[in-house]
């Protein structure tokens, strides 16, 4: 089976060094396997999107010589597909409409917090009438299982116990991230997903949805994330600075250090393309030793 990897940013802002490191790692794994590397723009949440962010993301990837195969995939162009699948699940009785608010789920004391929010106990499973806008939830009965993460090793999950019936379509009419990403990975033929460990908790849920829909499950590898000096994950909300293309050579060198690679001194100042070529020729993915705590370094301009 040919290796097909992907990088799938949301256009909520420009890339910072954390997101770019995840892009580089997924790119190197794909190129080392002589496979394809795709770019998907997950633009299905307009209220959170920043004008011009998509262009800046693609320009940054280009400046760092991260060349993608195939055309860029935009989720916003596939809304009808998400709607069709949700409608089929409703018709089959494997999903149902829910009018519960977050306050109601938290307020009665039975909702248990989890990394993916409060567990939903299925209050609306038998409700026939709703007086307000509804979301669509998947019925989750038995969902315990495990998968072998490429870096973290064996991982167990139990969606029923930790999340319960989860949302695949929001009450504002937008598809949930979980539904879109699972359908898109299948549509694009993704075989390997390399991403940050902050998304590890979603993997069991995605595998449950893949099994519900009869879709193949990719192989997953979750990387340590880069944090700021306060130990907080880099993000727009925590003040992460955007990556500037003019510092591409120095940043590319730092990213390889984050990933446990040591480019020779002779490659100081080398273009990113040369560094990626060296990396693909010089490392054994099965023997990678990633740093367990990655702290953001000062930007180079």
H/E stretch holding 168 reads: strand 167-169
- Residue 236 annotated to the active site: yes
Query: In Å, how far from its chain's centre is CA 169?
Result: 18
Q: How many folded domains does the chain comprise?
A: 2
* Same-domain status, 249 and 262: yes
pLDDT at residue 79 above 80? yes
Check 128, 236, 289, 293 and give the catalytic one. Answer: 236
Average pLDDT of the residues in 271-276: 96
Query: Which of 147, 179, 211 corresponds to the end of one domain?
Result: 179
Predicted structure pTM score: 0.91
pLDDT at 301 over 50: no
218 near 193, Cβ under 8 Å?
Answer: yes
Give the separation between CA 183 and CA 88, rounded to whole angstroms.
14
Cβ burial 78-91 (10 Å sphere, 16+ → b, else e): beebbeebbeebee
Q: Are residues 160 and 90 part of one domain?
A: yes
Same domain for 95 and 9:
no
The answer, yes or no, to whether residue 237 has pLDDT greater than 70, is no
Does the residue 93 lie in any domain? Answer: yes
User: Is 33's pLDDT higher than 70?
Assistant: yes
**What is the distance, to the nearest Å, from the Cα of residue 190 to the centroid of all Cα atoms in its chain?**
13
d(CA 53, CA 113): 32
**Same domain for 164 and 119:** yes
Number of Cα atoms under 13 Å in the Cβ half of residue 38 = 22
Instruction: Identify the burial level of 195 via C-beta atoms within 10 angstroms of its C-beta, where 0-12 means exposed, 13-18 middle and 19 or more buried.
Output: buried
Sign of torsion, CA 109 112 118 121? negative
SS3 content of the chain, % helix, strand, coil (to 5): 40, 20, 40
CA dist., res. 124 & res. 173, Å (int): 18
- pLDDT tens-digit profile of 155-180? 999 999 989 999 999 999 999 999 99
Summary mean pLDDT of the chain: 88
- Are 259 and 288 in contact, with CB atoms under 8 Å apart? yes
CA nearest to 62, candidates 5, 6, 23, 12 = 23
**pLDDT at 292 (0 to 100):** 45
Specify if 248 maps to a domain.
Answer: yes
Mean pLDDT of 245-272: 89
Q: Is residue 49 part of a domain?
A: yes
Q: Do the domain assignments include residue 141? A: yes
Do 146 and 95 reside in the same domain of the chain?
A: yes
Give dist(CA 141, CA 161) in Å, integer. Answer: 9
Which of 179, 213, 237 corresponds to the end of one domain?
179
* Boundary of a domain, candidates 155, 179, 203: 179
Domain residue limits at 42: 4-76+189-295
Q: What is the mean pLDDT of residues 67-79?
A: 98
CATH number of the domain residue 272 falls in: 3.40.50.620
176 in Cβ contact with 167 (< 8 Å): yes
In a domain, 184, yes or no: no
Question: Would 301 be classed as within a structural domain?
Answer: no
Residue 254 to residue 299: CA distance in whole angstroms = 10
Residues 101 and 130 in one domain: yes
| Least confident span in 80-84, 96-100, 253-257 | 253-257
In this structure, the strands spanning 192-196 and 219-223 are: parallel
Residue 87 domain-assigned?
yes
Q: Is residue 257 part of a domain?
A: yes
CB 167 within 8 A of CB 137: yes
> Do 124 and 98 touch, CB atoms closer than 8 A?
yes
Q: How many residues does the chain have?
A: 301
pLDDT of residue 81: 98
What pLDDT, on the 0 to 100 scale, is given for residue 121?
Answer: 82
Q: What is the pLDDT of residue 182?
A: 98
Residues 100 and 157 in one domain: yes
Mean pLDDT for the stretch of residues 88-104: 92
């Amino acid at each position: 089976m040919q290796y097909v990897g992907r990088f799938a940013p949301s256009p909520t802002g420009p890339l910072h060094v954390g997101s770019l490191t995840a892009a580089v790692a997924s790119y190197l794994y794909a190129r080392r396997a002589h496979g394809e590397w795709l770019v998907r723009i997950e633009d299905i949440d307009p209220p959170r999107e920043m004008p011009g962010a998509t262009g800046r993301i693609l320009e940054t990837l280009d400046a760092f010589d991260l060349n993608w195969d195939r055309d860029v995939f935009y989720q916003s162009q596939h809304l009808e597909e998400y709607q069709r699948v949700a409608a089929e699940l409703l018709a089959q009785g494997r999903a149902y409409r829910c009018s519960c608010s977050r306050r109601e789920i938290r307020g009665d004391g039975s909702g248990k917090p989890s990394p993916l929010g409060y567990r939903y106990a299925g209050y609306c499973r038998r409700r026939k009438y709703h007086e307000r806008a509804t979301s669509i939830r998947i019925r989750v009965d038995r969902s315990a299982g495990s998968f072998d993460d490429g870096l973290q090793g064996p991982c167990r999950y139990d969606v029923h116990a930790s999340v319960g019936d989860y949302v695949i379509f929001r009450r504002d009419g937008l598809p949930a991230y979980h539904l879109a990403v699972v359908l898109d990975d299948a549509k694009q033929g993704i075989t390997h997903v390399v991403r940050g460990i902050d998304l590890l908790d979603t993997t069991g849920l995605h595998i449950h949805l893949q099994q519900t829909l009869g879709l193949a499950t990719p192989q997953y590898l979750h990387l340590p994330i880069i944090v700021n000096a306060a130990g907080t994950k880099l993000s727009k909300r925590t003040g992460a600075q955007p990556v500037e293309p003019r510092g591409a050579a120095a940043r590319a060198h730092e990213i390889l250090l984050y990933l446990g690679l040591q480019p020779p001194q002779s490659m100081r100042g080398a273009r990113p393309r040369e560094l990626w070529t060296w990396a693909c020729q010089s490392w054994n993915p099965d023997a990678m030793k990633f740093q367990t705590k990655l702290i953001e370094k000062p930007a180079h301009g």
